[in-house]
Structure 1
Amino acid sequence: MTDLVTSTRPSRRAVLAGTAATVFIGTRARAADIRWRLGLSQPVDSPNFIRLKEMTDRVRTETNGRLDISMHGGGVLGSDTKMLGMLQSGEIEMYNAGNVLGPIVPVTEMPGLPFTFKSPAEVFKALDGDLGDYIRAELLAKGIYAFRWGGDNGFHHLTTSTKPIRTVEDLAGMTMRTPVQEMTVDFFAALGAVPKKFPLSQLYQVLKDKVCDAQTDPLFLIVLMKLYEVQTYLSLTNHWWSGFTFTANAAAWKSLPDDLKAVVERNVRISALAQREDVARATAAAIGILESKGMVVNQCDVSGFKKPLGAFYAKWKGIYGAKAWALLEAHVGKLV
């Protein structure tokens, strides 16, 4: 009996070995946890932040904490240009990019060419498909992994503090805040305006200080950023579309285990589709809200905006390249 008890009772050495193994496994599990940072300039009450926060929460839950993505919204990490640099260097692993990728990959600007697409549905048919595949490949070559499912920002209109824009002639000499892309600057310069580039984080202050008379943005963003406090007129032009490209540092993404990649991809898609619906609802309600805040709304005659577009398109076709241009025209029809 004694021999049986002795043989079944673990030795002190075995107990210590088992304890050591448990500690090692626990330490290894903690070391395997992956902590990423996600930066974006959009406010914390925006559809972008809200839906991406939901995405990161789901990823954390579904991976049992193996991948923990912390959110840094409202530009707390710096300007969009700074965050893009941080993404490329690996200082942050994820970034929700607006109209800032053009200086690195010019073809990212193509969906925002003026008076090409007519609806968000048309845009996303192209971006979720072949045109988007081409753009994503170009970004990957620059070390940026772009997810297939991006967000909506909507079609742009003009707001001004001095007078309404009724025809293209009203733009002559008007200082216009634009995004950082040269294409947007070139367009407004061709119309006779005086474009000035400022990041989104500075937009409200630039308008408040009268550094610029006018600016271009989608309806829901005008509401979200309370631009009605610093602008009087809203002129409906529907001149171009803008959206968001959700990105990751390519090296960091490549190093992620395949099962975690699948979780992230699935949840990015869920959040992107929900964000698009949020923006559609907010856009539909925006004009009524802006009018209630005292903005004067008018429909602009944009026929004059389109007169210089032949030469404009020819120039930018040369910059973007024939292959990319052919993919675009397959969706929107012949431009040049």
Structure 2
Amino acid sequence: MPDASLSRRSLLTGAAAVPLCAILTRRASAAEFTYKLATGQDPNHPVNARAQQAIDRIREATGGRLEIRLFPANQLGGDTDLLAQLRSGAVEFLNISSSILATFLPVASLPNIGFAFKDYDSVWAAMDGPLGAYVREQIGLTPILTVSKTWDNGFRHITSSTREIRTPDDLKGFKIRVPQAPMQTSLFRALNAGAAPINFNELYSALQTKVVEGQENPLAITATTRLYEVQKSCSLTGHIWDAYWILGNKRAWLRLPEDVRTIVTRELDRSADEERADIVTLNANLRSTLSQKGLTFIDVDREAFRDALSRTSFYKDWKTKFGEGAWSHLEAVSGKLA
């Protein structure tokens, strides 16, 4: 049973709960369009609460013409499978992290460059500005497109069941699980860690059996999936910031009348702003909550990690892969990296 103190109510501090009657209400008449929105996040995650609220507002604002059904927690398949379903049109909308989107479109991981952002002010200046516009433009050249502004996956931090990670040297030989994403793999290997790509649904077991010593994720993920049960410390490295994108299948999107598309984007943008605020509040609360669960928090010198990374070929290699034009969009907000 999930811990009561990490229930939906406590996890969504600062996020308005979705009224049950609103979720269950269905118009008597059939919708003109019935679409699916798939997510990979646990139902407790703010992404799903805010997505459901947007769905309810969209149904109301369109007079029931568009019915969007939410399928959280990879109910319709794993992340990469869902991405394939989105491209084929089997799923009309998908919430997915930029690091996973990068397995299909490498430039999507441009904002994931290690230690590119120091805080949320720099993140949103970039993602609501030229950098975000550039990435959205590149996504739009494929069979999919973005249908709202970016949502917040959060800054990723390192947890461990063995050694405490206080300096870059502590990562040497450290067995850490990373997602199936080239960015995280290359970052930790550059810092001499033993980076092991493992599917997320296998992560808890891998930590429990000591296949890996640690992992890296935003605090909301560490909490909602109870990874704190098999970890002892959390180093607040903030080594990567990751976005969530609400993506649409281009053919399905264009089937919607223009006025409906306008409503969808308007309401998803509103929920994006609310979800961003939720994550900030949630992170502040989770440090206290997870500390009470026995997870020790370590404040590290992030500049020391960035300096260590800059002494490797990491930034140079990724600049070459992305190209000068794309890299210039990133350095306009991050400062000189390579």
Q: CA deviation at 1:217?
A: 1.2
- Deviation larger for 70-79 or 209-218: 209-218
Question: CA offsets per residue over residues 18-73 of structure 1, 9 Å max, x none?
Answer: xxxxxxxxxxx95x711111111101111000000111111111112211110100
Q: TM-score, normalised on structure 1?
A: 0.87
User: Secondary structure of 2:246's partner?
Assistant: strand
Aligned to 1:134: 134
Q: Could you tell me whether the CA contact under 8 Å between 2:191 and 2:308 is conserved in 1?
A: no
TM-superposed deviation, 1:304: 4.8
1:228 aligns with 2:232: no
Further displaced range: 74-83 or 170-179: 170-179
Answer yes or no: is the 8 Å Cα contact 2:115–2:306 preserved in 1.
no
In the alignment, which residue of structure 2 is the partner of 1:258? Answer: 258
Q: Which residue number corresponds to residue 182 of structure 1?
A: 182
TM-score, normalised to structure 2's length? 0.87
Cα distance, 1:173 vs structure 2 = 1.8
Look up the match of 2:318: 316
Moved over 6 A (4+): none
Helix, strand or coil at the partner of 1:247: strand
Unaligned runs of 5+ in 2: 1-28
Per-residue deviation, 1:281? 0.1
Contact 1:41/1:201 (8 A) holds in 2: no
Q: CA RMSD in A?
A: 1.6
* Length, aligned pairs only: 307
Q: Give the alignment of 1:1-336 within 5 angstroms.
A: 33-98=32-97, 99-302=99-302, 303-304=304-305, 306-310=307-311, 311-336=313-338
Work out the CA distance in 2 between the residues paired with 1:125 and 1:169: 32
Q: Which segment drifts farther, 296-305 or 56-65? A: 296-305
Q: Is the 8 A contact 1:191 1:305 kept in 2?
A: no
Q: Is the 8 A contact 1:233 1:295 kept in 2?
A: yes
Q: Work out whether residues 80 and 199 of structure 1, in 8 Å CA contact, stay in contact via their aligned partners in 2.
A: no
Aligned amino acid, residue 48 of structure 1: V
Q: Distance in 1 between matches of 2:210 and 2:322?
A: 34
Kept in 1, the 8 Å contact 2:168–2:308? The answer is no
How far apart are residue 202 of structure 1 and its match? 3.2
Paired letter, 1:35 = T
Deviation sequence 1:59-94 (CA, Å, 0-9, x none): 111112211110100111111111111101111000
Distance in 2 separating the partners of 1:241 and 1:59: 29
- Would the aligned equivalents of 2:38 and 2:94 in 1 still touch at CA under 8 Å? yes
CA distance in 1, matches of 2:209, 2:83: 27
- Residue 307 of structure 1 aligns to a residue in which SS? helix
Shift of 1:179: 2.0
Question: Equivalents in 1 of 2:58, 2:301: separation in Å?
Answer: 47
Given that 1:176 and 1:195 are in contact with CA atoms closer than 8 Å, whether structure 2 keeps it comes out as: yes
Structure-1 separation of matches of 2:224 and 2:166: 25
1:308 maps to amino acid: L
Secondary structure of 2:50's aligned partner: helix
Cα distance between partner residues in 2 of 1:331 and 1:172? 30
Separation in 2, partners of 1:40, 1:304:
32
Q: Is the 8 A contact 2:45 2:220 kept in 1?
A: no
Aligned equivalents of 2:114, 2:305: Cα separation in 1: 13
* Offset of residue 219 of structure 1: 2.1
Q: Deviations over 1:80-125 (max 9, x none)?
A: 1111111011110000011201122112112121111111221122
Equivalent AA in structure 2 for residue 317 of structure 1: K
Alpha-carbon separation, structure 2, partners of 1:181 and 1:284: 27
Supply the distance in 2 between the matched residues of 1:307 and 1:216 (Cα, whole angstroms). Answer: 18
Q: Which is higher, the Rg of structure 1 or of structure 2?
A: 1
Separation in structure 1 between the aligned mates of residue 85 and residue 131 of structure 2, nearest angstrom: 26
1:44 is aligned with what amino acid?
P
Provide structure 1 residue ranges, at least 5 long, that are not aligned to the other structure: 1-28
Letter matched to residue 51 of structure 1: R
Report if the CA contact (8 A) 1:166-1:300 is conserved.
yes
- Counterparts of 1:189 and 1:305, CA distance in 2: 14
Q: Is 2:152–2:244's contact at 8 Å kept on the other side of the alignment?
A: yes
